[in-house]
Amino acid sequence: MTTRRGAIIATLGVSVFGLPRATIATPQMRDEAIAAITSGAPVGDGRVTLTIPGIAENGLSVYTTVAVDSPMTAADHVRAIHIIAEQNPIARLVTFRLGPRAGAAKVSTNIRLAASQHVTALAELSDGSFWRDAKPVVVTLAACVDGG
């Protein structure tokens, strides 16, 4: 039976979030995104430093910096840095492609976060190894709501 209350809730379920809830990424999608980048190679903890606010008042723009401990020489450098979310519509938010001519492995940008979650920074090194750092972020105003 369709009640007025039910109809309102059903409408909210789509319009408040701007997209069906089912399209929000899950930690499984985060793991799949990481596996797609690493081809299943092991990922070490360390060498990567993710700097992101612990409380993000505005999920539409969260200033994020990733630094990797690397000499950035031709023999030993960072090839790529990925920022990965677990509660956004898509898991892989952005990829930076670096090389020895970047001089330093430190990058920043503003990302969108649809909900409070852990954000992961994943670095791909020239020796084929992968390293990561993850930080929890509490989002006060989520992206993907109306006006986002």
Q: Can residue 9 be called a binding residue for other proteins (CB under 8 A)?
A: no
**Closest Cα to residue 83, out of 39, 58, 113?**
113
> Which lies closer to other proteins via its Cβ, residue 23 or residue 28?
23
Q: Parallel, antiparallel, or unpaired for β 117-125 and 43-45?
A: unpaired
> Which lies closer to other proteins via its Cβ, residue 44 or residue 97?
97
Site for other proteins in 24-83 (CB under 8 A): 60-62, 65, 72, 83
**Nearest-angstrom CA–CA distance, 41 and 34:** 10
> Which lies closer to other proteins via its Cβ, residue 49 or residue 109?
109
Instruction: Please pick, from the candidates 31, 38, 51, 100, the single residue that binds other proteins as defined by CB under 8 A.
Output: 100
Interface stretch with other proteins, choices 2-10, 45-53, 103-111, 122-130 (CB under 8 A):
103-111
> Which lies closer to other proteins via its Cβ, residue 53 or residue 89?
89
> Which lies closer to other proteins via its Cβ, residue 38 or residue 109?
109
Contacts of 67 (CB under 8 A, 6+ apart): 48, 49, 51, 105, 106
Interface stretch with other proteins, choices 1-9, 34-42, 110-118, 126-134 (CB under 8 A):
110-118
Instruction: Please pick, from the candidates 29, 107, 121, 137, the single residue that binds other proteins as defined by CB under 8 A.
Output: 107
Which positions lie near other proteins, rule CB under 8 A?
Answer: 15, 18-19, 23, 60-62, 65, 72, 83, 85, 88-90, 92-104, 106-112, 143-144, 146-148
